[in-house]
Chains A and B, each alone.
Chain A
């Protein structure tokens, strides 16, 4: 028979679905700001393999000549991003939910198995709780990155008043570089996340919205337990 199983807490779902549009606004307004001074690239010496960003990308996104709007959006929505993120971390710590999320000493070995399995190697999946080892590592890293984005962002925003923070992050230029690559990390995470969610199927997605899924339980086991 089937029973309802709670997959995600109400609070977790709210934090997640609020964060998605807010982080999108932060990334897009960040792009508007970055356009005004866009020095980063992948390359060595005089050879540039990829410049962030090519003209076609700015044309596609309409990011050119929008610095003032970008800064305003960024410094308005940063509040919501920070408050939602801090509330999530506090909730996770206080409720004990962090135990389902934080990686343990087996996670890195198991995550390698999960990754091998996911790309098609005949490796059995290790036993897992709510999240598998790869998810534990990735989701914890994303939360950590959120905190770092906040710190590097503040270091770029107020390098004079928060000079100690800017200095601790390597200075103004480095803090901006770190802030940029953290954002690239979110974009990379997002692409993989979407692919994995699509693969996991509808029931998994529905559980992130409504919190529940059906679970098949063994009748005999249930009866035995009941006795």
Chain B
């Protein structure tokens, strides 16, 4: 029996065979561990002062492409709620709103794609069909609050004041002081629930919530929903984005 057991497959005893397999496997596990630590160190070495490592950013770009080509549809509407569900939304972010705004002198700089820039008043925007929605406003931090907004659809706005600009890849918006700025991909901007809002929770938009005009896109986290818009530009170049520069996902779509 002993002779048979030794000669059948391997010249090694079972103990030797186990030792050989064990040595090989632990070496592989060790090499894998070293590789994982080296990979982590490589990613860590790319950390900038504000931004995330480019290797991670590249995969977020892949995620954006996957979502935009396979998941996103402007027929996917976010859930809307009854008025009784409206909660108390907190003020979260006042970048670009340090100074009080003079609503009377406010005007919107508009730079369509390929046609001359122009200026619009709040009356111009309120001349568009008023659209109202009660949606769950979602912060990138993880909380959300059901909130009512009313304003003009960004798609209606584009069709009337910047016809042809729907062909642009992005919309760039910024505050009058240029301190806060966002870039939004065109499909999300033209989503039927994306509004240029001038009312919130049944009242004219308050200053600290972005008066006189703010962006409300329930298909994006709040970081993209810029308050106190001073300029809207349609562009094919990916616009600068305040929070993307701080390491957040550029797309930030829901």
Contacts and interface: CB of A to CB of B under 8 A. Distances in A.
Interface of A: 1-4, 13, 17, 21, 33-34, 36-37, 39, 67-69, 71-73, 75-76, 79, 158-163, 167, 172-173, 176, 206, 209-214, 219, 222-223, 226
- Candidate in A33, A75, A176 with the most chain B CB atoms within 10 angstroms: A75
A200 B253 CA distance: 47
Given A2-B15, A209-B29, A214-B18, A158 B67 contact: yes
Interface string B1-28: 1100100000000110110011011100
B24 A158 contact: no
A72 B57 contact: yes
Contacts of A160: 76, 78, 218-219, 253-254
B17 A163 contact: no
A81 B253 CA distance: 22
A222 B29 CA distance: 35
Nearest to B19: A210
Interface residues of B, number: 48
Contacts of A159: 78, 138, 254
Nearest to A222: B1
Q: Give 9 closest A-B pairs by Cβ, nearest first.
A: A37-B142, A68-B247, A210-B25, A36-B141, A161-B71, A72-B56, A160-B254, A76-B59, A210-B22
B140 interface: yes
Q: A interface, by DSSP: helix, strand, loop or mixed? A: helix
26 contacts: A2-B14, A2-B15, A4-B14, A4-B18, A13-B25, A34-B142, A36-B140, A37-B139, A37-B142, A69-B52, A71-B140, A72-B57, A72-B59, A75-B60, A76-B59, A158-B253, A159-B78, A160-B76, A160-B219, A161-B254, A162-B71, A209-B25, A209-B26, A212-B18, A213-B18, A214-B14
B142 A79 contact: no
A37 B14 contact: no
B72 to A, nearest CB: 6
A167 to B, nearest CB: 7
A72 B22 contact: no
B202 interface: no
Contact of B254 (A67, A158, A173, A223): A158
B136 A73 contact: no
Contacts of A209: 22, 25-26, 29
B63 A75 contact: yes
B248 interface: yes
A67 B249 CA distance: 11
Contact of A161 (B24, B73, B138): B73
Interface in B31-52: 32, 36, 47, 52
Given A161-B254, A213-B18, A36 B247 contact: no
B79 A75 contact: no
A123 to B, nearest CB: 32
A163 B248 contact: no
B144 interface: yes
A76 B18 contact: no
A113 to B, nearest CB: 31
- Candidate in B18, B60, B71, B249 with the most chain A CB atoms within 10 angstroms: B18
Given A1-B5, A67-B140, 18 more contacts: A17-B32, A36-B141, A68-B52, A72-B52, A72-B59, A76-B59, A158-B67, A160-B78, A160-B218, A161-B219, A161-B254, A163-B77, A163-B78, A163-B79, A209-B25, A209-B29, A210-B22, A211-B25
Given A158-B71, A172-B144, A209-B29, A71 B18 contact: no
Contacts of B138: 159, 172
B59 A79 contact: yes
A4 B142 contact: no
Nearest to A160: B254
A223 B243 CA distance: 74
Nearest to B141: A36
